[in-house]
Structure 1
Amino acid sequence: MSQLPILLLLPLLFGSVLAVLAGLWRPVAAQVVAVVATASTLVLALIALVTVTRDGTLTHELGGWPPPFGIEYVLDPLSAYMVALVALIGTMVVLYPTKAAFDLEPGRGVPLYPLALLLLTGLVGVMLSGDLFHLFVFLEIYAISTYALISLGGDRAVFASFRYLLLGTVGSGLYLLGVGFLYFSTGTLNMADVAAQLPDLAADPAILGSMGLIVLGLALKMALFPLHVWLPDAHSYSPPGVAALLAAVQVKAGAYALIRILFDVYGPAYAGDGVPVDIALTWFGAAGIVVGSVLAIQQTDVKRMLAYSTVAQLGYIGLGIGLATPLALVGALLHVLNHALMKAGLFLVAGGILQRTGLKEIARFAGLGKRMPLVMTGFAIAALSMVGIPPTAGFFSKFYLVSATVETGDWILATIVVGSSLLTAIYFLRLFERIFVLPPQEAVVAEAVEPEPRIVVTVGVLAAGVIAVGLGNAVIVRQVLRPVAEGLLG
């Protein structure tokens, strides 16, 4: 089983190459390759999650070179949990019809699926890397793929992609500079080796400086407020399938790397010592919850509303990381899963609406509930989960976060988390009124029919996942997330 960590990468990496050749032969073949590659990774990831939860961490030395000189892949319950999530969302997106997902007709030589597979390869590589520089390489692999995928959305998307490229390069530069400080101080890039040396270097300004640089770089990759400025345009103007990947899993790679490096490399003892990372993450996360929710209320375009909603949801994750208690980390990690299911479903429903009606403006959605009852039911389930209505998944991650704030005596933070659910309810209730209560006011809505079966199935699977995770959250927390949180906090 020592090859399992590297095996998780291979279907996606080889699939991205094979999808190029298949697409040149027959456009639909590229999608078939993508579905097989992502589904294979999903199966392997679920096997890996069961294996490491039962037997413990697995490592793989690339090329047989042992660390610290060689590159090490590390598969533990946290990385297996994240890889399974990436593979699940990736499978749902590549199953989605090409026209609805990417706003393009499939064509020979159009590298939609190779780019999507390369994006997923980079994300999985980030989850598995046990080497700080190797992690940087995978950050760049998924970033470069993302820039290209965003630009498929048209002229405004090209500009949004260029702005993301500039800011993403700044984030990468900050991260790499921080890694450089660590290397000069410790002489190694292997995470475990760096972690073993840092307790003796706690007073070194270079170490504290490296932590500040790495946190800033990854917070920008994660789009944590106020470093979120690239996200609204990138998610609004990119095609629905791309937006689903970005909101559901791409920004979570930055959050994962932040958790991994802060707690596994620097260790929780560094929180507040010289660089108040914990305080900054907590309060910037709280600010992001409020600002993202308020801005979402003001939007008239459904995709832009969902984009600002993502800013708020990432705030929950940042707040949980900053609080750095077992309950808070459980809430943050559970919200990573919950938000991925909810937001992927919402963006894919938006893609189905665009396919059938061409509409994006919320004011024109009146009557869609009666014309598209199946996908709109999926939309309603995901939206209720975003608000935090039990027994949906969103309620339980917020419950753990509120419990963590009460446990630490932070009543202001508890009020923000609870109050944000009311703000979320405001912008979704506005949608519910138009979709389910008002009669059709547009001819295109009155003539609309349910989207094609693949759209209904993918949305249905994600909606079912929202309910299943909510009902089964205790099992996920007990078997995976609580042991992970306790392990991270030492």
Structure 2
Amino acid sequence: MLSHLPILQVILPLLGAPACLILARPYLAWVFTLLVSALAFVVSGLLLSQVWQGGEIVYALGGWDAPWGIEYRIDLLNAFLLLIVSGLSTVVLAGARLSVVSEVPVEKQTLFFVAWLLCLAGLLGILATGDAFNVFVFLEISSLSTYTLISLSRQRQALWAAYQYLIVGTIGATFVLIGIGLMYVMTGTLNMADLAQRLPEVADTRTVFAAYAFVIVGVCLKLALFPLHLWLPNAYTYAPSAVTAFLAATATKVAVYLLIRFSFTVFGVDFAAFDIPLHTIFIVLGLVAVFSASTVAIMQCNVKRAIAYSSVAQIGYMIVGLGLGSVVGLQATLLHLFNHALMKGALFMALAAMVLRVGGSTIDDIAGLGKRMPLTALAFVVGGLSLIGVPLTVGFVSKWYLVIAALAQGMWPVAALVVLGSLLAVMYIWRVVEVMYFREAPADAPRGEAPLTMLIPLGLLVLANLYFGIDTRLPVSVTGEAAFVLLGGGQ
């Protein structure tokens, strides 16, 4: 059984989705979805352990070896991401039942969990596969189910948000498909390891350069890199709260993984380095994302929307790390993938609990929440401190590595701007904290803490934000080795 772990990682949620459809009762569908996600988490943990001890795992589907057959290829990078995606899916699902009951019509709740499993299968498939065309297939599976999850909210605005994401996501997927098609025309293969060997022979052709451009732009649409981010705020704001927590912690991370995989593994580190200043473009776009999105977040009256814009800013930090082009810079990006999943999972889970109790997430809705829901408010504060990058939280670790990477290359203005961007995060997080703790709630405002079924998963995420901010051995060692391997021995 252990030899089949790579395919089990994807097959479990993929087959679980139609099986979940048979369950007529939403409660049973939730239990089944949680069980499947937990099993996927166990599988990802075993895969990470195997890769850490024995090196890369190659799994040929149907016994057909690559490049003729499709293979799953698990290395330290995607094993780490598999653990993040399946783990965050499990924790969010554990606390999602009451939130789903509150925000999704009862007749659609079983379909909601079916779409969740399909989305999970798509995300895990993108990470596990070693075939470029399969990347597109799984990208479509995750995207179509994501549009469905967003649209199932009781809010009418969710339909427009899903439609907007559908249009942008379709354009992004089309760009990726065109790029993959152009690579196939030039090399005759779709296997990513085979592509990495054959592309250097034709790297100076316009077709390969166009393929790279199509793939990069398509992936950047998916990961919401400024200025291609306009779909994200509405999608996160109007989706059911559990969906927002899941997507914010996983979907954009998988898109960043694709950017890393195609840039560093398939095309190679030095591709296009002499034709366009790609590293500089990434750094500039990343820093613009940090400041523009953080500034807009400060002005939002809806807390979910403010934290959604902060996701665009945090993606900017990851792109800056990529743009630095060094082992420490790439390590900072990979660390922030992990840390951002934890902090955004905690923040949006806390907001889900608030929405469940008070019925909304505007500034007025959360007035006096520090007294009405003290544990939930405290969880939001810890998540906010981590987002800012306060020491002893996970947010500090990745930003520290990012600053070190910038200073190591003499880019002290970049390091200064990273620190300044964190100060902008103080402003919009403090605005929420001030309203929760220093503004009186209306006399008729609902009172009472979030249910224990939501507080326990939320507490786990909060503790993870603190624990991995203090004991950094696991994420730092895994990301350090992954970055070293991706850059071919280091730069």
What is the match of residue 482 of structure 2?
A: 484
Residue 23 of structure 2 is aligned to residue 27 of structure 1: no
**Aligned partner of 1:54: which letter?**
Q
Q: Secondary structure at the match of 1:344?
A: helix
| TM-fit CA distance, 1:270 | 1.2
TM-score, normalised with respect to structure 1:
0.96
Displacement, 1:442?
A: 4.8
Q: Distance in 2 between matches of 1:288 and 1:243?
A: 20
| Per-residue CA distance 1:365-417 (angstroms, 9 max, x = gap) | 22111221112221111110001001000000000111111111222211221
Residues 210, 442 of structure 1: CA spacing in aligned structure 2 closer, same or farther, 3 A cutoff? farther
* Stretches (4+) displaced over 3 A: 105-110
SS for the counterpart of 2:364 is helix
Distance 1:240 1:120, change over 3 A: same
Looking at structure 2, the residues matched to 474 and 417 of structure 1 have their Cα atoms a distance apart, in angstroms, of 24
Identify if the C-alpha distance between structure 1 residues 68 and 442 changes in structure 2 by more than 3 Å, giving closer, same or farther: farther
- Of residues 344-353 and 132-141 in structure 1, the stretch that sits farther from structure 2 once superposed is 344-353
* Residue number in structure 2 paired with 1:201: 202
What secondary structure is seen at the aligned counterpart in 2 of 1:74? strand
Residues 291 and 69 of structure 1: CA distance in aligned 2, closer, same or farther (over 3 Å): same
Q: How many residues align?
A: 485
8 Å CA contact retained: 1:393, 1:470? yes
The one-letter code matched in structure 1 to 2:138 is F
> Does the 8 Å contact 2:96/2:242 carry over to 1?
no
Aligned mates of 1:300, 1:108 — CA distance in 2? 30
2-structure distance, mates of 1:162, 1:273: 39
Name the residue aligned to 1:392: 393
> How big is the shift at 1:204?
1.3
Determine if the alignment matches structure 1 residue 129 to structure 2 residue 129: yes
Q: Percent identity?
A: 38
Q: Residue 83 of structure 1 aligns with which residue?
A: 82
What residue number does 1:451 align with?
A: 450
Residues 315-330 of structure 1 mapped to structure 2, 5 A cutoff:
315-330=316-331
One-letter amino acid of the structure 2 residue matched with residue 388 of structure 1: G
The answer to whether the 8 A contact 1:372-1:449 is kept is yes
* CA displacement, residues 44-76 of structure 1 (integer Å, 9 cap, x when unaligned): 111111110111011111111111111110111
Q: Which residues of structure 1 form unaligned runs of 5+?
A: none
Say yes or no: does 1:70 pair with 2:81: no
Task: Give the alignment of 1:63-462 within 5 angstroms.
Answer: 63-101=62-100, 103-104=103-104, 106-107=106-107, 110-153=110-153, 154-444=155-445, 447-462=446-461
Q: Give how far 1:475 is off.
A: 3.4
Aligned partners of 1:328 and 1:59: how far apart in 2? Answer: 28
Correspondence for 1:49 = 48
How large is the RMSD of aligned CA atoms in angstroms?
1.4
Aligned partner of residue 160 in structure 1, secondary structure? helix
Q: Which amino acid aligns with 2:15?
A: F
User: Gapped runs of 5+ residues in structure 2?
Assistant: none
- The DSSP-based 3-state class of the residue aligned with 1:269 is coil
Alpha-carbon separation, structure 1, partners of 2:229 and 2:210: 22
Q: Counterpart of 1:454 in structure 2: which amino acid? A: T
C-alpha displacement at 1:332, in angstroms? 0.7
**Pairwise CA distance, 1:322:** 1.8
Give yes or no for contact 1:101–1:242 (8 Å, CA) kept in 2: no
Q: Output one character per residue of 1:16-55: Cα deviation in whole Å (capped at 9) or x when no partner.
A: 1211111x2x221101111100111111111111110111
Q: How far, CA to CA, are the matches of 1:231 and 1:421 in structure 2?
A: 21
Q: C-alpha separation between the residues in 2 aligned to 1:409 and 1:319?
A: 14
**1:468: which partner in 2?**
467
Q: What is the letter of the counterpart of residue 482 of structure 1?
A: G
Instruction: Return the letter of the residue paired with 1:419.
Output: L
Cα deviation per residue 1:113-167 (whole Å; 9 max; x = unaligned)? 1100110100000000101100010000000000111112232111111111111
Does the CA contact (< 8 Å) of 1:212 and 1:277 recur in 2? no
Q: CA deviation at 1:465?
A: 0.9
